[in-house]
Amino acid sequence: MIADDKRQALRAAAQWLAQRAGAPNDAAVLHAWQQWHRQSPTHRWAWQRVENLQAQLGNLPSTAYQVLDQAPATAAHLGRRSLLKGLVLAAGVGGLGWSGYRQAPLWLADQRTAVGERRTLQLADGTRLTLNTSTAVDIDFSSRLRLITLRSGEIQVQTGKDPRPFIVRSAQGEMQALGTRFDVRQLDGNTALSVAEHAVEIRLRDGRAQRINAGQAMTFGADQFGPLQAAAPGGDDWVQGRLLVDAWPLQRLLAELSRYRLGYLGCSDDAGALRLSGAFPLDDIEAALAAVARALPVVVIRRTRYWTQVVKRA
């Protein structure tokens, strides 16, 4: 603990530092500072600390400004959650300077799945948590709260019976389960919630809340709710490794399938508008593509393992 008088003296010293740095040649400022400095040993102690600080800064390399100015704020002392909020920002691993640093905590998540992987966890309270492809979550159960932090990807939650509130936190807000089964997907800048059973309450950062009932869905940002929609039937079929689509344009289907494997998967413009319906396997994207090629007048072109394009058949 720092004693109050020292704290006050440091505050005053900081203000003097700022004053003097702003008016280095001002005799009146210097004179007033001298009076303050003479006034008490505590003042002199505080000013000595200022000089130590300046000496510390003076020892930095000439590039220090550039290096330090780039450093992102992490506010490590505020604890892990606020820390992570600032960190889950960008992609790229190691050797990339700050971008690598920001990404790092994603692979520190309590649970994660690789691209194409899907995993169901049975939590201590009986909750079933299913992680879809390329997903990272932190699980924090305390005596008062069950908290799941969705850091990327998509989860389906089937809550267990337990008196503690169950909350899923995304980058945009919190969702409190008022019942049992729902699906949350972290998009770029948005969170998509779809409720299968009972209800979920969304709370934005500013405190506004909205209840989403079974059969409803909403995509929301950090500052606003989106329109209330009907939950897509079969929207959580991914839990069974299946994607159910109804008259989707091919482009949308391929974008969805590409979440489940690495590399580029896309289509030519003229093929993208073709529509199709059906159930596609998510654990075998090649089989899904073969099904697409049977259903539509298209061919699948593979340049490399990581580059696949669907074009209209000539």
Binding site for other proteins (CB under 8 A): 1-2, 6-7, 10-11, 13-15, 17-19, 21-22, 46, 49-50, 52-54, 56-57, 59-71, 73-78, 80, 83, 87, 95, 97-98, 100-101, 104-105, 107-108, 140, 142-143
Q: Indicate the residue among 110 and 246 with the shorter CB distance to other proteins.
A: 110
d(CA 272, CA 32): 74
Q: Indicate the residue among 105 and 235 with the shorter CB distance to other proteins.
A: 105
d(CA 142, CA 125): 11
Q: Indicate the residue among 27 and 68 with the shorter CB distance to other proteins.
A: 68
- In this structure, how many other beta carbons lie within 10 angstroms of the beta carbon of residue 102? 19
Structural tokens at position 196: 């299968």
d(CA 193, CA 231): 9
Give phi and psi for 124, each to the nearest 5: -60, -30
- Among the listed residues 141, 142, 140, 122, the one whose alpha carbon sits nearest the alpha carbon of residue 131: 122
- The answer to whether 183 and 193 are in contact (CB under 8 A) is yes
Structural tokens at position 87: 């960190």
Instruction: Specify the amino acid at residue 113.
Output: T
Considering the complex, what minimum distance in angstroms separates the CB of residue 17 from other proteins? Answer: 5
Q: Indicate the residue among 70 and 304 with the shorter CB distance to other proteins.
A: 70
d(CA 133, CA 153): 7
Tokens 């924090």 identify what position?
140
Considering the complex, what minimum distance in angstroms separates the CB of residue 89 from other proteins? Answer: 13
Q: Indicate the residue among 3 and 27 with the shorter CB distance to other proteins.
A: 3
Q: Indicate the residue among 75 and 230 with the shorter CB distance to other proteins.
A: 75
Listed in sequence order, the residues at least 6 apart from 96 whose beta carbon sits closer than 8 Å to its beta carbon are none
Considering the complex, what minimum distance in angstroms separates the CB of residue 65 from other proteins? Answer: 5
Q: Indicate the residue among 17 and 244 with the shorter CB distance to other proteins.
A: 17
Considering the complex, what minimum distance in angstroms separates the CB of residue 76 from other proteins? Answer: 6
Considering the complex, what minimum distance in angstroms separates the CB of residue 125 from other proteins? Answer: 14
- Give CA separation, 115 vs 119, 153, 203, 302, 304, in Å: 11, 10, 30, 19, 18
Considering the complex, what minimum distance in angstroms separates the CB of residue 179 from other proteins? Answer: 27
Q: Indicate the residue among 49 and 275 with the shorter CB distance to other proteins.
A: 49
Considering the complex, what minimum distance in angstroms separates the CB of residue 99 from other proteins? Answer: 9
Give phi and psi for 203, each to the nearest 5: -120, 120
Considering the complex, what minimum distance in angstroms separates the CB of residue 96 from other proteins? Answer: 8
